[in-house]
Amino acid sequence: MKYLLTVILSIFLVGCAKAKTSDIVADVKDGVVYITNEINPTQGGAGTGFIVNDNQIVTNLHVVDGPGKISVYSDDSQRKYAATIVYKDFVADIAVLRLYEWELFEKNETPVNLSFGNSTVMNLGDRVIVIGHPWGLTWTVSEGIVSGKDRRPGQNPRFLFQVDANLFQGNSGGPIFNDRGQVICVSTLMLAMEGGSYGFCVPSDLVEKVLHDFNVFNEIRWRVMNVTAGLTDDGGSVILNEVESGGAADKAGIKKGDKVVAIHTPHNVPNGVKVTNPNDMITELAKLKGDEENISLLIDRNGELMMIDIKTNFRLSKDYTPDQAK
């Protein structure tokens, strides 16, 4: 297995052009795979995946879920390799595959392990590059920008990025790259309407959390504070409407009616993240790996600011109801 060495063409030099899309695609394409899920000779589906470690392939769960026969194809040939699901998480809509004949795949193809970038530092308007198989048009490349961040389609911890690059059926599970050829999102769904469409993807911070928990715990542990929150009547602050007795926040001294100003986690030091909406807290908690327990809340209690440390609890994916958006 060769590891991806992304080519950064003078991007550290002020005024120089960004890396060409064609150069990035050439570097990363051997880390992208085509996935089919054959239910019977006339029924099935197809999607995209990508290699992150030797014999560890990431895709969307909805691409491979069900009773079908899963096969993986490389860009270099039409050879088919049988695969199996080794882990799946319906909350994040992420599945991990393993090939039965990885050594043969390495021998015949030219696979590379793709690396993750930091999705949190992506800004609205940043360029993204998509490789996938929309409507079965294999090995299709599209380009666009990040057009929205931290969208939450349901009540689960999952949050999504929005991109204006074209994503359609068949793109699902495929990687979306930044200017350095790093995976910063995983294509997952689209919203099509008259005049165009928007794509949505699972940010790399969330995917890395799922892979970490899978590798360490063989389960996904979503950190929680055991509170419910909403906006104040004037909409200007986030207020804790309920604090579960004996829960993580209650044990830390958090009280019903406290207003949350900011949340501090290992992922947003040293400044924390300002909380203007309850989703801000959910998003920051969702990024925490299963063994990252400790956070701090900056709260306003009757006009007095105080920082309170909390040792969070966790819920498993089975404790949540699946989102309808896929």
Per annotation, catalytic residue among 119, 142, 172, 204:
172
- Residue 229 in contact with residue 240, Cβ under 8 Å? yes
172 catalytic? Reply is: yes
Q: Is 46 exposed, middle or buried (0-12, 13-18, 19+ CB in 10 A)?
A: buried
User: Do 205 and 182 meet the contact criterion of CB atoms below 8 Å apart?
Assistant: no
Rounded to 5°, angle at Cα 297 from 291 and 303:
170
Please tell me which residue in 30, 62, 119, 258 is annotated as part of the active site: 62
Of 27, 30, 89, 93, the catalytic one is 93
Catalytic annotation present for 62: yes
**What amino acid occupies position 261?**
V
Contact, 114 vs 180, CB < 8 A?
Answer: no
**Phi, psi for 239 (deg, rounded to 5):** -120, 145
Burial class (CB in 10 A: 0-12, 13-18, 19+), 221: buried
Sign, Cα dihedral of 248, 290, 293, 123: negative
Q: Decide if 93 is catalytic.
A: yes
Output the CA angle 205-208-211, nearest 5 degrees.
155
Q: Which residues are catalytic?
A: 62, 93, 172
